[in-house]
A and B are shown apart, each in its own frame.
Chain A
Amino acid sequence: MWAYVIRRFLWTIPIVLGVVLITFVLFSYVVKDPARQYAGKFATPEVLQAIRHKMALDKPRWINLGALRHGEIAQTFDSQFFDILLFRFPESMRWEEPLWTLIQRKAPASMMIQIPAFVIVLGLQLALALFVAFKRGKWQDYSITFLAVLGMSVPALSIYIAAQWLFGQKLGVFPVAGWERGIYAIHFAALPILLSVIMGMGGGTRFYRTVILEEVGADYVRTARAKGVGQREIMFTHVLRNVMIPVVTSTVTALPGLVLGALLLERIFQIPGLGNLMADAIANNDRAIVMSMTYILSIVYCVLLLVTDICYALVDPRVSLK
């Protein structure tokens, strides 16, 4: 098993390097002149130069060969590429602040919405899927599966906007938009959490139902039934434990969806979180933020994938044998 863990860990290194490479190439080569993109067509050369300095574009791109020739090793890695690789991100043009302070300030609001929503969605999805699989072929099964397909087909954006109008403006149950620090945030977070729970239900419920039904057909379930184990116990102890692996996989691979939820919800409800920061940066051509956020979140995602894979190996010996 340890061989597997080490192999999996080593495999993460080229992946992380690939992620930096893709992000860096996208933002440095595909955009011919990022300073021009930010400043617009009519900027003077002096202005462009100043912007370039601020965006750290006047540094060498990959490696500082001049410094290497003089034997200054520390200076050699003072380049655009290594700045990204080593998390020394350029300052945001719009906020004129280092990215880390921005993230520290903006992350709590995002967390307050995404974490509760994620936990609630996961629990409800599993409960519903078990219930539906339990009632397979009955009207409850058909109606919930049907609702799940309906929910997956509605554009989430429309639902968010319509709910803001209906509950915020028309009925006045929740505030239309805004945010407050501390405990009162719940007041503003309630509707976004509710919405992301409702919109997040569909896909997962349907997928888990399929997974559970596949498992229900397995031999060990028949054995358990033959021994006289009750239906409830089969579902909750035997089946549920065995579906945990596909469930956890799909949970982790669903995490990028949170980013999308954050982008849309925080934009619509004017919540000062990371999603809003990102959306603002896109609207304002703030290259530093778009690039660094893409990189940071990808690294976080890589680490999560690594952790889940290692957890599998710890829990299920079949995984490390593959």
Chain B
Amino acid sequence: MTAIRAESDANLTVAAELAPLTEKPRTLWRDARARITRSKLAMICLGIMACYVVVALIGFSGLLNHAIEATVGPGSAPPSTASVSLWAGTDFLGRSVLWRLLYGARVALTVAFLASIVSIVIGTVLGLISGYFGGCIDAAIVWLFSTVSSIPWILLILALAFVLKGQEFALPGIGKFTLTGVPTIVLALGLTSWVGLCRYIRGEVLKLRERDYIAAARAIGLRDRSILFRHILPNVFHLIIIDFSLGLGAFVQSEVVLSFLGLGVTDQPSWGRMIDDAKLELLKGVWWQMAAATIAIFVFTLAVNILGDAFRDALDPRLRGVD
């Protein structure tokens, strides 16, 4: 017995020496990374995203807190090269549009990332549970997402933002909270946009749970929780990445719409608020505030959309070869 094992070990060593692996095995993730780094456009978009994140972090660091409220020139001054603060002109109170624009990245990215996290957590957990357990639980979750998707999404977002606005919540041990601005938007967007991901994941789990490796995992006595999160979740994770990258742009755009309808952020500068403020000023010929916010949103959404497509193409082989 020992001899046999020793012999087979020796054989393995020989085999490894004879045929050294010239390249690492191609996994989905390694393949996807290679595809994305090979595409120049995707890398440029990734760079743009990184810039936005850096700007948002500067906003969080508090460096801009003074600059966004300070008066730097006459009200509604057009852009000039006199000083950095005036590069994008001033708003009607003489505050620098450029600083407020940079600060706006903070709100936009916070809303986009937090709303994504809320929707991804709900969508993933419900999708996994419903696909894996089936039966009554599945029926209930299918009913829930069918119902939520039967309400036109914009109305559901508006209704949620409308009812959540200004609500007081008492969290035991922490204190009372009044929902304002960013948390309201995050909840309204996050609680409404999980349906697509949930549906995809459920469909994928329905297929995965019939696979042999899941049967094997069950046979050696793994609990449902560890099968779900350690063996099934990694195999649907690419869906989450795709959903995340395709959703970011939509969340930033929604912030604009909510601000325009008076349900958005009111206590700090945001891109939506800038466009909303600018709508009357534009009729007086003050175009720079509007233009600045529009360009900021446009570049962000464009980069995110292109990147999202690149991620989808790289991670979902079934969709390849069509575009």
Contact = CB atoms under 8 A, between A and B. Distances in A.
Given A158-B275, A213-B322, A259-B154, 18 more contacts: A18-B146, A18-B147, A19-B150, A22-B148, A27-B159, A32-B168, A149-B306, A154-B294, A155-B297, A157-B260, A158-B290, A210-B323, A213-B323, A256-B153, A256-B154, A263-B154, A294-B156, A301-B151
A302 B151 CA distance: 8
Interface string B276-297: 0011001100010010011001
A162 B290 contact: yes
Interface of A: 11, 14-15, 18-19, 21-23, 26-27, 30-32, 37, 149-150, 152-158, 161-162, 165, 169, 176, 210, 213-214, 255-257, 259-260, 263-264, 267-268, 278-279, 282-283, 290-291, 293-294, 297-298, 301-302, 305
Interface in B216-257: 249, 253, 256-257
Contact of B160 (A26, A32, A260): A26
A22 B157 CA distance: 13
B293 A158 contact: yes
Contact of A157 (B144, B160, B256, B305): B256
Interface in B133-174: 143-144, 146-148, 150-156, 158-160, 162-164, 166-168
Contact of A256 (B155, B162, B278): B155
Contact of A294 (B159, B293, B301): B159
Which of A19, A257, A291, A293 is packed against the most chain B CB atoms within 10 Å?
A19
Given A14-B143, A30-B163, A305 B322 contact: no
Contact of B167 (A32, A152, A263, A301): A32
A161 B150 contact: no
A297 B155 contact: yes
Contact of A260 (B154, B162, B263, B297): B154
Contacts of A302: 150
A161 B275 CA distance: 9
Interface of B: 143-144, 146-148, 150-156, 158-160, 162-164, 166-168, 249, 253, 256-257, 260-263, 275, 278-279, 282-283, 287, 290, 293-294, 297-298, 301-302, 305-306, 322-323
A293 B154 CA distance: 12
Contacts of A293: 155
Given A26-B163, A30-B164, A149-B305, A294 B155 contact: yes
A293 B162 CA distance: 13
A279 B148 CA distance: 22
A175 to B, nearest CB: 13
A153 B302 contact: yes
Contacts of A294: 151, 155-156, 158-159
Contacts of B290: 158, 161-162
B263 A22 contact: no
B298 A282 contact: no
B79 to A, nearest CB: 17
Given A26-B163, A27-B163, A157-B275, A282 B261 contact: yes
Contacts of B146: 11, 15, 18
Contacts of B148: 22
Contacts of B147: 14-15, 18-19, 21-22
Contacts of A21: 147
B150 A298 contact: yes
Contacts of A155: 253, 256, 275, 294, 297-298, 301
Contact of A154 (B167, B282, B298): B298
Contacts of B298: 153-155
B152 to A, nearest CB: 3
A37 B166 CA distance: 9
B296 to A, nearest CB: 10
A207 to B, nearest CB: 11
A155 B255 CA distance: 10
Contacts of B279: 161, 268
A279 B282 CA distance: 21
20 contacts: A11-B146, A15-B143, A19-B151, A23-B151, A27-B159, A153-B298, A156-B253, A157-B256, A157-B257, A169-B283, A256-B153, A260-B257, A268-B279, A283-B262, A294-B151, A294-B158, A294-B159, A297-B155, A298-B151, A301-B150
Nearest to A149: B305
B163 A31 contact: yes
Contacts of A26: 159-160, 163
Contact of B261 (A23, A176, A213, A279): A279
A14 B140 CA distance: 11
Contact of A267 (B163, B260, B263, B278): B260
Contacts of A152: 301, 305
